């Protein structure tokens, strides 16, 4: 369960960081699509504006976990992949995302 918990928590942390950037006034034109890849040994790679599908990029780079953070007008989408686990979080600067929202996602991923 802790493994799943970390996967969902990381997705939520990326969502929170991206929404905070929007709240600080960074426009979506300034924010690029970012892909965060985590290798089996915990190394982190970040790729900006990759047009590769997330699964293909993870395979090419030898990543265990991948997250794609996509800003849109006033909102953010985070797609996460880790083995058979998948998640998608979406939020806007108008909504109030909190860590508590990740809990149902974790329960869903655990089943």
pTM of the predicted model, to two decimals?
0.76
CA quadruple 44, 96, 55, 9: dihedral sign: positive
Q: Residue 2: which H helix or E strand, with range?
A: helix 2-23
Greater confidence, 106 or 25? Answer: 25
User: Residue 34: pLDDT band by 50, 70, 90 thresholds?
Assistant: very high
What per-residue confidence (pLDDT) applies to 43? 94
In which domain, by residue range, is 6 found?
A: 2-110
- 24: tokens are 């600080």
Taking phi over 0 as left and psi of -120 to 50 as alpha, with beta for the rest, 108 belongs to alpha
How many other CB atoms sit within 10 Å of the CB of residue 15?
22
**Structural domains of the chain, count:** 1
């Amino acid at each position: 369960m802790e493994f799943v918990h970390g996967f969902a928590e990381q997705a939520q942390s990326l969502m929170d960081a991206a929404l905070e950037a929007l709240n600080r006034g960074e426009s979506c034109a300034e924010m690029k699509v970012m892909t965060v890849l985590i290798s089996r040994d915990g190394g982190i790679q970040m790729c900006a504006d990759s047009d590769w599908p997330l699964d293909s990029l993870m395979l090419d780079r030898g990543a265990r976990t991948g997250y794609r953070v996509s800003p849109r007008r006033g909102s953010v989408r985070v797609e996460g992949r880790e083995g058979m686990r998948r998640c998608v979080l979406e939020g806007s600067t108008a909504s109030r995302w909190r860590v508590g929202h990740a809990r149902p996602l974790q329960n869903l991923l655990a089943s």
